A and B are shown apart, each in its own frame.
Chain A
Amino acid sequence: MSTTVILFSILAIAAIATGVSVIINKNPVASAMSLILHFFALAGLYLTLNAQFLAAIQILVYAGAIMVLVVFVVMLLNLGKESALTERFNPRTGIAVSMGVLLIAQLAIAFFGQPTGYNQLSDKAALNGTAESIGTVLFTEYLFPFEAISLLLLVAIVGSILLAKKQQKESV
């Protein structure tokens, strides 16, 4: 067993366990903490794929920024245990889970019945995962989407301020 196989097994189990924990925890803060661990497990999986730059960005953006905002909102709305406990599970849960398991079984049969033939990382994988390679491709081939992202961020800034800021009438 090579290091990669051991790492993949541990990280895959961690990712699935924390993912389950996100959806079954009744306390939203506990869900958020599990989701942070889930993102760390994913960053580790990116490392097993030799995508070092994306692993760093994953921790920086998801665990460092997005989850901070989510935890802030949970605190802001003050969803203590009392209100969280009223969340009830109904028959939809059973149907959703069984359909999901069925889908996974189908996918597993489809994937393993007809293997893709990709059994190891490509020779260029180590090179493609570095920040240098991503920088070169991003600023030559994908320059226009990059500029479009700046517009998206501008719209997100304006939109979220409009939504979150108190109306003038309310505050006065």
Chain B
Amino acid sequence: MLQTIPLEFYLILSAIMFMLGVIGVIVRRNAIVIFMSIEMMLNAVNLTLVSFSQFMGDSAGQIFVFFVMAVAAAEAAVGLAIVLALFRKKQTVYVDEVNVLKW
């Protein structure tokens, strides 16, 4: 029986979470749910960084995660402001109804 968790388990878990995020971005039409899937992908990468950092004893990975969180917060503020501006212009948050660039 396992006594400790090897690094591979964390990597596979992180890969599964990243895959869920990608599927969410491809499949969903609601811009807010797509945004949440992107957050899930960011978190999956964070888990990879933290696990590598803690298994190899180098704290650089954790500092990266710290910066990723700051970037995610900035992204949340601006991204949701874009969703709001989109809603105000087109009265929809479904990304396939926003096709002004298509001709």
Chain A residues in the interface with B (C-beta under 8 A): 1-2, 4-5, 8, 12, 15-16, 19-20, 22-23, 28, 31-32, 35, 38-39, 42, 45-46, 48-51, 53-54, 57-58, 61-62, 65-66, 69-70, 73-74, 76-77, 79, 84, 87, 89, 92-93, 96-97, 100-101, 103-104, 107-108, 111-112, 115-116, 118-125, 128-129, 133-134, 137-138, 141-142, 145, 149, 152-153, 155-157, 159-161, 163-164
Contacts and interface: CB of A to CB of B under 8 A. Distances in A.
29 contacts: A1-B1, A5-B4, A5-B5, A22-B37, A39-B43, A45-B47, A46-B50, A50-B54, A54-B50, A61-B69, A62-B39, A66-B39, A77-B83, A79-B32, A89-B27, A96-B23, A100-B22, A108-B12, A111-B8, A120-B6, A122-B55, A123-B57, A128-B57, A129-B62, A153-B74, A156-B73, A156-B74, A156-B78, A161-B81
B2 interface: yes
Interface of B: 1-13, 15-17, 19-24, 26-30, 32-33, 35-37, 39-40, 43, 46-47, 50-51, 53-60, 62-63, 65-67, 69-78, 80-85, 87, 93-94
